[in-house]
Amino acid sequence: MSVYQKYYGEFKEMYYGNAAIGIIASSCLGAIAAMFILMTGHGVLQMLQLFAVVMISMGYNTAVLACLPAKQVFNSLVGSVSVNLLFILYHGLMLLF
């Protein structure tokens, strides 16, 4: 059993609780990513990155509110968390160096 299948099974088992916690996690990570993006500048590139972060974070919220199947909601959560963490790491390292 893969890690993905394990966590998807746990997510599906307690869907409503995990979806609510996912909304909080996705929104908080999106806000942190947006803050780091804006700390590195206000140019066109940063605005495009900010647009991507907002759309991906809102995409998960939309998936939950649209009552999509659990697999699609879980995949959008994984995508949202992954992309937001990548932006946080990238811009965090840019601020350090």
Cβ pair 74, 19 in contact under 8 A: no
| Token pair for 45 | 């590139």
Query: Rounded to whole angstroms, how far apart are CA atoms 53 and 9?
Result: 27
Q: What is the band of 49 on the pLDDT scale with cuts at 50, 70, 90?
A: very high
- Is the predicted pLDDT of residue 97 greater than 90, yes or no? no
**76: which residues sit within 8 A by CB, 6+ positions away?**
59, 60, 63, 68
Domain that holds residue 60: 3-96
- Is the predicted pLDDT of residue 55 greater than 90, yes or no? yes
Query: What's the structural domain count of the chain?
Result: 1
Q: What is the pTM of this model?
A: 0.93
If you ran DSSP here, which 8-state letter would residue 69 be given? Answer: -
- Is the predicted pLDDT of residue 25 greater than 90, yes or no? yes
- Is the predicted pLDDT of residue 44 greater than 90, yes or no? yes
